[in-house]
Amino acid sequence: MKIARIIRIFLELARHRLDRLIPANTSLPLWLSAIAVCLRIFPTPKDSPAVSLRLAIENLGPIFIKFGQILSTRRDLFSEELITELEKLQDQVPPFSTEVARHIIEDEINASIADIFAKFDDTPLASASVAQIHTATLLTGEEVVIKVIRPGIQVTIKRDIEVMLFFAHAVERFWSEGRRLHPVEVVSDYEHTILNELNLQLEAANTATLRENWLDSNELYVPEVYWDYCSSRVMVMERIYGVRATDIDVLQANNADLKKLAHLGVNIFFTQVFEHNFFHADMHPGNVFVDVSNPQDPTYIALDCAIIGSLTEEDKNYLAQNLLAFFHQDYAKVAELHIQSGWVPANTNLKDFEAVIRSVCAPVFQKPIKEISFGKVLVSLFDAARQFDMEVQPQLVLLQKTLLNIEGMGRQIYPDLDLWETAAPYMENWMRSRYDARSLFKNLSDNVPRWIQQMPQLPDLALGALNELNSLGDRTSEQIRLLGDIKQELGQQARKARYTRIGGVALIAAILTSLLPLSGYATTPEALVGTSILGSLGVYWMYIQS
């Protein structure tokens, strides 16, 4: 199965001659140069390289389409033509049959479409990598959208994951840097994430939670879920109307405040990560819309909540401290935090690591986003960190992906956005709030019910602790006595070994001395007597120590 898929991938590369995307005079590794030469054997298609790339990605399926969606946000890295084609992957993937969609909906809801919907549009509103969307109206009058999972998609995804794991294992085994990058762990984490995306019941729960988190805010709107019509393969939710976040011409035509909108996006991201610890991890332009009904106070609308991320308290705390240290240009603190968190080995030279971080980060500090490419910064950090054995942190992969998406949209909405101007005050306020009186009181209040529940057990726990301390004292005394015995025994063995060595040396000396006459050397009676005494003492010392 893996070999067949690898061959299929190569044939797609060849059929669309994707070697045309490689810039001229680019220095390539030998194995990659060999592949490029093989591709040139095939005829050149009529489509442009950008169109060919989009078609190849579509043909290779959802895993590759997801990757293309991420690339579509990076206008700083690719040409305008390539970005335009990749953006079509966000919701212009070829749809599957409407009859199949109707059959799936009726099977999952266990009722005919006419019994539930007053109106159902057979033409899909959008078609994405793992599902497509149809619009409808409930019998009660609410306008809704119906999300339907593509038939057979799970088999396709599992097959591609097998191929990715095959290459990940190969990277770990045959590349010296491979183990440090944890490619197998990263792919396994991605497998878990994308398989969750196929469960629309889980997406509905994520959507409901995200909606609850932002329900009382005027910053982010999340559509309502209609639970009576949701299953693992079908989800029905409120239909929203808005402008795609990257339709800049439309936003400008509606006089939307783009600067305010850009800063609002940064604030929403940090709030989701640090306050809610529940962040939308698939914020490509196809999933983010803007409500411009009040142009001077625009708000975001979030769709497609299948991929949600969260961090442990430890990772969240270290990340916050790292960001603050970076904003304050305290690169020594950044290096120290990396060591404390275990992201680099404990024996890392702090000063050397600080110098490398400074060389990479200092040039980008306090520049407008249009002058910063986080993609290039990440590559530079990756190259610099190799000498310190910095390991990839799989639990942060979703966060890194979200940051790249946020950067891509921010660059399009308001290129002069000063990321630090928004992020630094937010992080400082968040850190202060963790240690103020209200936060400490809340932590105490949250723990009081648990403490009350444990109070009846306190006498038994205290008595058990005292008994344990008493037994610990007895065990300590016994261990001290045993250590004394061991020390005494080791001393006796050392003396025995010393005497044995002395006896052996004396015996060998006596034997050698007694053999001197046989070698033609003259000796005296006194020497023979001394030899006898020396040999006797040697034998005696060795005997009494045996």
Q: So which residues are the catalytic ones?
A: 282
For tokens 């770990």, name the residue.
Answer: 172
Q: How far apart are CA 405 and CA 29, in angstroms?
A: 29
Q: What is the pLDDT of residue 180?
A: 61
Q: What is the pLDDT of residue 545?
A: 53
Residue environment code for 134-167, b if the CB has 16+ CB neighbours within 10 A, otherwise e: bbbebeeeeebbbbbbbeebbebbebbbebbbbe
Q: What is the pLDDT of residue 519?
A: 44
Q: How far apart are CA 334 and CA 342, in angstroms?
A: 13
User: Which residues are CB-neighbours of 189 under 8 A, at least 6 positions away?
Assistant: 394, 395, 397
Q: How far apart are CA 22 and CA 261, in angstroms?
A: 36
Q: What is the pLDDT of residue 430?
A: 82
Q: What is the pLDDT of residue 179?
A: 65
Determine if the pTM surpasses 0.85.
no
Q: How far apart are CA 526 and CA 541, in angstroms?
A: 23
> What's the helix, strand, coil split of the chain in %, to 5?
65, 10, 25
**Which residues in the chain land under pLDDT 70?**
1-2, 25-32, 70, 73-77, 90-92, 174-182, 186, 365-366, 368-370, 372-386, 390-398, 401, 435-451, 453-455, 457-458, 461, 465-466, 468-479, 487, 489-546
Q: What is the pLDDT of residue 536?
A: 57
Q: Are 201 and 234 in contact (CB under 8 A)?
A: no
C-alpha closest to that of 422 among 361, 368, 362, 370: 368
Q: Length of the chain, please? A: 546
**In degrees, to the nearest 5, what angle opens at C-alpha 93 toward C-alphas 290 and 44?**
125
Q: Are 133 and 127 in contact (CB under 8 A)?
A: yes
Q: What is the pLDDT of residue 202?
A: 93
Reduce the DSSP state of residue 75 to 3 states and report it: coil
CA 106: distance to chain centroid? 38
For tokens 């030998």, name the residue.
Answer: 30
Give residue limits of the domains in the chain: 2-87, 244-435, 460-544
Q: What is the pLDDT of residue 239?
A: 96
Q: What is the pLDDT of residue 498?
A: 56
- One-letter amino acid at 306 equals A
Q: What is the pLDDT of residue 92?
A: 63
CA 76: distance to chain centroid? 23
